[in-house]
Amino acid sequence: MEEQPRLMHPHGVGLAGHPGLTHRPPDVTAGSDGDSRKQDIGDILQQIMTITDQSLDEAQARKHALNCHRMKPALFNVLCEIKEKTVLSIRGAQDEEPPDPQLMRLDNMLLAEGVSGPEKGGGASAVAAAAAAAVGGTGNDNSVEHSDYRAKLTQIRQIYHTELEKYEQACNEFTTHVMNLLREQSRTRPISPKEIERMVSIIHRKFSSIQMQLKQSTCEAVMILRSRFLDARRKRRNFNKQATEILNEYFYSHLSNPYPSEEAKEELAKKCSITVSQVSNWFGNKRIRYKKNIGKFQEEANMYAARTAVNAASASAQGSQANSPSTPNSAGSAASFNMSHSGDLFMSVQSLNGDSYPAPQVGANIQSQVDTLRHVISQAGGYTDALAATQLYSPQGINANGVWQDAPTPSSVTSPTEGPGSVQSDTSN
């Protein structure tokens, strides 16, 4: 008996036989008109409730009867039109959204990193770019790192595509399911094809937001991998001794202008089995460190100059005494610069006497070496003029401003490891 007041509540319509079920129409006002409306709604609801009490056969029969009603198609169309006009006009504007800039950024990045897009497109170029930037260690080390990077990138790519496929499959399945459901329901309630389309686009939006999360996490994974790879680049390896010697020989034989041309850099890079960037780095570091502490490097400079001079002298001696079997070889060193192109060599020799560099700390042994050198050169014959000519060079090396002076430099220098005249040098003259 407690339900009775609720059933009779002015804002609720009681349902006979279903105590406790009430309906509250929003704008039902008091008065006779309101009472009749309440009565109508109550009847409708009661009919709905009685339908639930019907057997399935009864309901199906009733449904069939409704579907076969001659007014049904017309009424249904009218309902569809009304619905399209009301619902779609409100939401239609929302459907055409501009592409999400964040999603575009993610897509672009994944494409650039080679995660999305063609199999060996962006990825290979990204790796190649990274390889070009990677200047640490030997070529083998680099290739090992690159293959490692590539393998991990491929792994990320595979995971990304698998997940993407899963999402797409799930999206398609769900869309198909919803579409079938709506088509089924469209028989009994007004659902227009446009509404189905809209529902599909809603589903797609939901799934694309999930895809965006996937893309975001993939991008993060790539960034982490990339940062690790970049960190790995910093793991340098010292150049091997031969490479350092080749670079030093070039540096000290071009001491007046130690700026190798691109060709010379490429040649040096080839000889040292390093990259052109590494050659540039090496010369950059060498110039600055030499300039900072000439005294410390003087001994090294002398050593290379002496070695080069001996090689040159031997080469010239060989040239002048081509038929003499007793001519000694180039002092056991592989280095042999072409004498006719080694103006800097003489400058280096000149520097040994302390003429050109500020406070050169030449050891006594080195000094004697120089004397020996001069002697060797004079003994070799034909180069005293050249030696004298070097005195015409203005004091080379670094001027008072700490800048390398432009001195006439040899047009080319032969490789220490190759025959005379085989290597292009810098273009300083």
Q: Does 144 bind DNA (CB under 7 A)?
A: no
The residue (of 134 and 377) whose beta carbon lies closer to DNA is 134
Token digits of residue 235: 């793991």
CB of residue 253 to DNA, shortest distance in Å: 17
Q: What would the 3-class secondary structure string for the chain be?
A: CCHHHHHCCCCCCCCCCCCCCCCCCCCCCCCHHHHHHHHHHHHHHHHHHHHHHCCHHHHHHHHHHHHCCCCHHHHHHHHHHHHHHHHHHHHHHHHCCCCCHHHHHHHHHHHHHCCCCCCCCHHHHHHHHHHHHCCCCCHHHHHHHHHHHHHHHHHHHHHHHHHHHHHHHHHHHHHHHHHHHHHHHCCCCCCCHHHHHHHHHHHHHHHHHHHHHHHHHHHHHHHHHHHHHHHHHCCCCCCCHHHHHHHHHHHHHCCCCCCCCHHHHHHHHHHHCCCHHHHHHHHHHHHHHHHHCHHHHHHHHHHHHHHHHHHHHHHHHHHHCCCCCCCCCCCCCCCCCCHHHCHHHHHHHHHHCCCCCCCCCCCHHHHHHHHHHHHHHHHHCCCHHHHHHHCCCCCCCECCCCCECCCCCCCCCCCCCCCCCCCCCCCCC
Residue list 359-398, contact with DNA (CB under 7 A): none
Amino acid at 220: E
Q: Does 149 bind DNA (CB under 7 A)?
A: no
Q: Does 23 bind DNA (CB under 7 A)?
A: no
The residue (of 6 and 296) whose beta carbon lies closer to DNA is 296
Contact residue for DNA among 18, 83, 146, 291 (CB under 7 A): 291
The residue (of 77 and 394) whose beta carbon lies closer to DNA is 394
CB of residue 165 to DNA, shortest distance in Å: 36
Contact residue for DNA among 160, 239, 337, 357 (CB under 7 A): 239
Contact residue for DNA among 10, 118, 139, 284 (CB under 7 A): 284
CB of residue 130 to DNA, shortest distance in Å: 10
The residue (of 290 and 346) whose beta carbon lies closer to DNA is 290
Contact residue for DNA among 87, 259, 386, 395 (CB under 7 A): 259
Strand partners, 138: none
The residue (of 102 and 244) whose beta carbon lies closer to DNA is 244
Q: Does 103 bind DNA (CB under 7 A)?
A: no
Q: Does 234 bind DNA (CB under 7 A)?
A: yes
The residue (of 113 and 245) whose beta carbon lies closer to DNA is 245
Q: Does 244 bind DNA (CB under 7 A)?
A: yes
d(C-alpha 29, C-alpha 32), whole Å: 9
Q: Does 83 bind DNA (CB under 7 A)?
A: no
d(C-alpha 314, C-alpha 248), whole Å: 20
The residue (of 59 and 128) whose beta carbon lies closer to DNA is 128
Amino acid at 268: L
Binding flags for DNA, 391-410, as an x/- string (CB under 7 A): -----------xxx------
The residue (of 191 and 264) whose beta carbon lies closer to DNA is 264
Q: Does 235 bind DNA (CB under 7 A)?
A: yes
Q: Does 226 bind DNA (CB under 7 A)?
A: no
The residue range among 56-64, 195-203, 235-243, 384-392 that interacts with DNA, by the rule CB under 7 A, is 235-243
Q: Does 288 bind DNA (CB under 7 A)?
A: yes
Binding flags for DNA, 114-143, as an x/- string (CB under 7 A): -------------------xxxxx------
Q: Does 241 bind DNA (CB under 7 A)?
A: no
CB of residue 136 to DNA, shortest distance in Å: 4
Overall residue count recorded for the chain in this entry: 429
Residues forming contacts to DNA in the complex (CB under 7 A) are 133-137, 231, 233-239, 244, 259, 262, 277-278, 280-282, 284-285, 287-289, 291, 296, 402-404
